[in-house]
Amino acid sequence: MQRVGRLPARINLLIVALLIGGGLLLLGPRLPYIFRVIWYQFAGIEDYQIFPARTVAAGEGQPWALAADYNQATLDGDLIQTIESYGPVAFLVLQNNELVYERYWENHNQAAYSASFSMAKGIVSLLVGIALEEGKLQSLDQPVADFIPEFRTSDKANITIRHLLTMTSGLDWDEAYTSPFSPTTELYYGEDLYRLVVNLPVKHEPGTVWYYSSADTQLLGIALEAAIGQPLSDYASERLWKRIGAEQDASWSLDRDQGVIKSNCCFNSTPRDFARLGQLVLQGGTWNNEQIVPAAYLAEAIQPAPGLQDEQGNPVNYYGYQFWIAQLVEPPVPHFAGILGQYIFVLPHLNAVVVRLGHREDPNFNDGIAYLQAAQMILEAR
């Protein structure tokens, strides 16, 4: 009786094992990505700790000058309550190349690292401008197929660097953040990003439809690395990070050890060094009288790219070359932006830069507006 009773249990265990084993075989190389999704679940600004990375080395740091009225501003209580409702960890305001105001929450401080998420897209755009000036890229209309072999013998042959910059490649991509099995989630947690993005099918004729696609920036990074002939992290260090006086090394996350740089996201740095990127844009690409990013390219990058329209045929007046242009405020504000409310705002009319890092964002950009209002209040009180 005892042996008869055990037999069905063993058969059930065998069936479960076969099902699990079969599932694992089907998942194959995607297993590490699935495990990461299950273990970490949701992205967070501390995720720079969970991915392998390449160092973006700093050079001789140039500390920010502190304004004479540094941190003397007092914000309205209701406004403080609003901005704190979005879970900030850092809020910095700079004007006239001086640090006017900075405030930190939780255990964050001026030396604390955090993930940039899609703010990294703006960094890739700056590097494209530099590579263009150096002749590493022939033009923005150079075919991506010159750098990615898989594009040469397919209907992707007409996709250009400009199409990737403006997110009009026409490649079929689902920019979904809530599903653990979306390609965007795999782009974040996966371990073979090259395979993921180079094999995407074409959905629209390149240059005809805009839709936000992190895959376009990932492809842009891959193409750019091929054009410059070195890791993006090394190029960013020599051509950008050292030249703008970053005080600390940054890092750029990889999909796996010795793998592909996650150019669509995941440049990791500190609040004060993130501010340098905004200051560089504010100064038209110059730093200490040296032209780091070509002025003409940068002027185009932070303006709405001409002729963009979305899948419904609506004009897209809020996106340039990997930069957003906030149209909900006046005048419109170009900025680096990442999920969970990572922002570097550039305010030419006030000669100011605003950095906000934190845990949450508002889908209607009310969080960004609140921080811009706070910055304006600080600057008007000076």
Q: Which of 35-44, 59-68, 196-205, 353-362 has the lowest mean pLDDT?
A: 35-44
pLDDT band at 182; cut points 50, 70, 90: confident
**Does position 6 have pLDDT exceeding 70, yes or no?**
no
Burial 128-141 (b: 16+ CB within 10 A, else e): bbbbbbeebbeebe
Average of pLDDT values for 1-17?
40
Q: Which of 21-35, 171-185, 278-292, 342-356 has the lowest mean pLDDT?
A: 21-35
- The DSSP output letter for 158 is T
For residues 283 and 295, what is the distance between their CA atoms, to the nearest angstrom?
Answer: 9
- pLDDT reported for residue 10: 44
- pLDDT reported for residue 376: 94
Give residue 68's Cα distance to chain centre: 33
For residues 368 and 259, what is the distance between their CA atoms, to the nearest angstrom?
Answer: 34
- pLDDT reported for residue 33: 63
The mean pLDDT of the chain is 91
- pLDDT reported for residue 177: 76
Based on its alpha-carbon atoms, the radius of gyration of the chain, rounded to whole angstroms, reads: 23
Average of pLDDT values for 152-174?
95
Coil, helix or strand for 24?
helix
Torsion of CA 299, 304, 305, 307, to 10 degrees: -140
User: pLDDT tens, 86-115?
Assistant: 999 999 999 999 999 999 999 899 999 999
**Does position 270 have pLDDT exceeding 90, yes or no?**
yes
**Does position 230 have pLDDT exceeding 70, yes or no?**
yes
pLDDT band at 192; cut points 50, 70, 90: very high
- pLDDT reported for residue 31: 58
Average of pLDDT values for 237-250?
98
**Does position 16 have pLDDT exceeding 50, yes or no?**
no
For residues 39 and 143, what is the distance between their CA atoms, to the nearest angstrom?
Answer: 39
Tokens of 285: 């690409």
CB 261 within 8 A of CB 228: no
Question: How many other CB atoms are found less than 10 A from the CB of residue 73?
Answer: 18
Extents of the domains making up the chain: 47-380
User: Of residues 190 and 10, which shows the higher confidence score?
Assistant: 190
Q: What are phi and psi of 376, to 5 degrees?
A: -65, -40
Average of pLDDT values for 68-81?
92
- pLDDT reported for residue 15: 41
- pLDDT reported for residue 287: 98
For residues 187 and 265, what is the distance between their CA atoms, to the nearest angstrom?
Answer: 10
CB 313 within 8 A of CB 343: no
- pLDDT reported for residue 153: 80
Q: Is the dihedral of CA 185, 313, 166, 194 positive or negative?
A: positive
- The DSSP output letter for 102 is E
Question: For 256, left (φ over 0), alpha (ψ -120 to 50), or beta?
Answer: beta
**In sequence order, which residues have a C-beta less than 8 Å from that of residue 283 and are 6 or more positions away?**
none
pLDDT band at 299; cut points 50, 70, 90: very high
For residues 200 and 214, what is the distance between their CA atoms, to the nearest angstrom?
Answer: 12
Average of pLDDT values for 212-232?
98
For residues 206 and 163, what is the distance between their CA atoms, to the nearest angstrom?
Answer: 7
Tokens of 321: 């070359």
CB 113 within 8 A of CB 48: yes
At position 288, the amino acid (one-letter code) is N
CB 294 within 8 A of CB 132: yes
Q: Return the CATH superfamily for domain 47-380.
A: DD-peptidase/beta-lactamase superfamily (3.40.710.10)
For residues 148 and 161, what is the distance between their CA atoms, to the nearest angstrom?
Answer: 11
Burial 39-63 (b: 16+ CB within 10 A, else e): eeeebebebbeebebbebbbeeeee
CB 177 within 8 A of CB 184: yes
Tokens of 46: 């501390």
**Does position 76 have pLDDT exceeding 90, yes or no?**
no
For the chain, percent of residues with pLDDT exceeding 70: 89
pLDDT band at 149; cut points 50, 70, 90: very high
- pLDDT reported for residue 198: 96
Question: How many other CB atoms are found less than 10 A from the CB of residue 32?
Answer: 15
CA atoms in the 13 A half-sphere facing the CB of 52: 10
Count of residues making up the chain? 382
Question: How many other CB atoms are found less than 10 A from the CB of residue 204?
Answer: 15
CB 367 within 8 A of CB 374: no
